[in-house]
Amino acid sequence: MKVTIVDYSSGNISSVINSFKEVAQNKATIEVTSDLNKLKSSDKIVLPGQGSFKSCVDALNKLSGLNDTLNEFVIANKKPLLGICVGLQMFADVGYEETETKGLGWISGKVSKIDNQNGKFKLPHIGWNQINILKDSKILNEVQNNSHMYFVHSYEFVPNDKNVISATTDYSSNIVCAVEKENIFGTQFHPEKSDKIGLKIIQNFINL
């Protein structure tokens, strides 16, 4: 089985690569590429994302044919994809970081700034926070409710359909931190930086 991490210059993804290789061992081949043919022949894709919504969308758009390839993989062929941090946020129709930017539109909704209640909550939201699991989720299988995950973000994904939300975290309000819609999975937290529980989530995705 081949799991491909999309390399589209969206910040340092070395910890994502290392975590997937650590978990995969003999079970899967982990490749890091932006080669369209290699992405098409993958069994699963990981879409990381660091930085702003706009910078990540711009970086995706710079690589000719990448958006179309991802759309074909996810929407037409219904193969599993995991978005991490801004990788999840880009599932939305639109994001409002820096300027209004069109997202991938896979899960209808928007990405807006966390309401920090006039400075009561620091932004970015950085560090360990508990997650509240709302429904059975393939990638949260055997993860305990109230587990701690590692976050770094100032913006949150607000989906129109609340049924896609598999977990939230409490920071100023209930922030969506994991979504699942058919073959599309996403975490706002960084599983690759969330110790053994994060590795369990990566394992669950590889084992799908």
Domain with residue 161: its CATH number is 3.40.50.880
Which tokens is 131 given? Answer: 């997650």
Work out the percent of the chain whose per-residue pLDDT is above 70: 100
Chain mean position to CA 139: 12
What was the pLDDT predicted at 137?
96
Rounded Cα distance between 202 and 130, Å, is 18
What was the pLDDT predicted at 5?
98
Q: Number of structural domains, the chain? A: 1
Q: Which domain holds residue 155?
A: 2-207
Question: 97, 125, 180, 190: which is the annotated catalytic residue?
Answer: 190
DSSP 91: T
DSSP 75: I
Read off φ and ψ for residue 17, nearest 5 degrees: -60, -50
Which tokens is 32 given? Answer: 């890091």
- Whether 111 contacts 86, CB under 8 Å: no
Measure the CA dihedral 199/177/9/7, to 10°: 50
- As a whole number, mean pLDDT of residues 167-187 equals 97
What are the C-alpha distances in Å from 46 to residues 130, 134, 186? 23, 23, 9
Give strand pairing partners of 109: 159
Question: 97, 156, 180, 192: which is the annotated catalytic residue?
Answer: 192
Mean pLDDT lowest among 116-120, 124-128, 143-147: 116-120
Query: Catalytic site residue 190?
Result: yes
Rounded Cα distance between 113 and 129, Å, is 18
Sign for the CA dihedral angle at 91, 126, 15, 63 comes to positive
What was the pLDDT predicted at 86?
97
What are the C-alpha distances in Å from 158 to residues 31, 67, 176, 188? 31, 22, 7, 11
pLDDT one-digit tens code per residue, 67-104: 999 999 999 999 999 999 999 999 999 999 999 999 99
- Rg (C-alpha) for the chain, rounded Å, is 16
Question: 56, 85, 153, 180: which is the annotated catalytic residue?
Answer: 85
